[in-house]
């Protein structure tokens, strides 16, 4: 398990935005992962995707690493942000925009506004 923790830690710390998900950003394998990847893709955020289905040690390891029981899990600049429900709420409230702005992560502000308008 130490190898998985080391691998997770290195991935989280060496990439600005990381999504641990079921599947990939181009082919999500669950609805929750699809929703978060879809938001990030639509907003034009460059992110690293880690498919937990391809490695059982990573799949369990990420839950232990964050002390969060579900996947997907989003990390920005090494910090755990949350899962699907939290990312959805943050997107709709504008908090995700603020988080990206604060951390210097580029994203399409117009796309973020369109998501909010569509869900108003």
Q: How confident is the model over 38-77, as pLDDT tens digits?
A: 999 999 999 999 999 999 999 999 999 999 999 999 999 9
The CATH H-level superfamily of 2-118 is: Glutaredoxin (3.40.30.10)
Taking phi over 0 as left and psi of -120 to 50 as alpha, with beta for the rest, 95 belongs to: alpha
Q: Is 80 exceeded by the pLDDT of residue 1?
A: no
| pLDDT recorded at residue 2 | 66
Please state the rounded mean pLDDT for residues 19-30. Answer: 97
30 annotated binding-site participant:
yes
| pLDDT recorded at residue 120 | 85
Residues 6+ apart with CB under 8 A from 85: none
Please state the rounded mean pLDDT for residues 26-36. Answer: 97
> What percent of the chain lies above the pLDDT cut of 90?
98
H or E, element range at 31: helix 31-42
């Amino acid at each position: 398990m130490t190898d998985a923790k080391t691998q997770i830690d290195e991935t989280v710390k060496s990439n600005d935005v990381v999504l641990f998900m079921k599947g990939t950003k181009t082919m999500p394998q669950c609805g929750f992962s699809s929703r978060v990847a879809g938001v990030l893709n639509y907003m034009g955020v460059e992110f690293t995707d880690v498919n937990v289905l391809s490695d059982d040690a990573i799949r369990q390891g990420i839950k232990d690493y964050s002390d969060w029981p579900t996947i997907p899990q989003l990390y920005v600049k090494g910090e755990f942000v949350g899962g699907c429900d939290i990312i959805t709420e943050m997107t709709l409230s504008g908090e995700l925009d603020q988080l990206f702005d604060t951390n210097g992560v580029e994203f399409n502000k117009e796309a973020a506004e369109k998501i909010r308008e569509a869900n108003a």
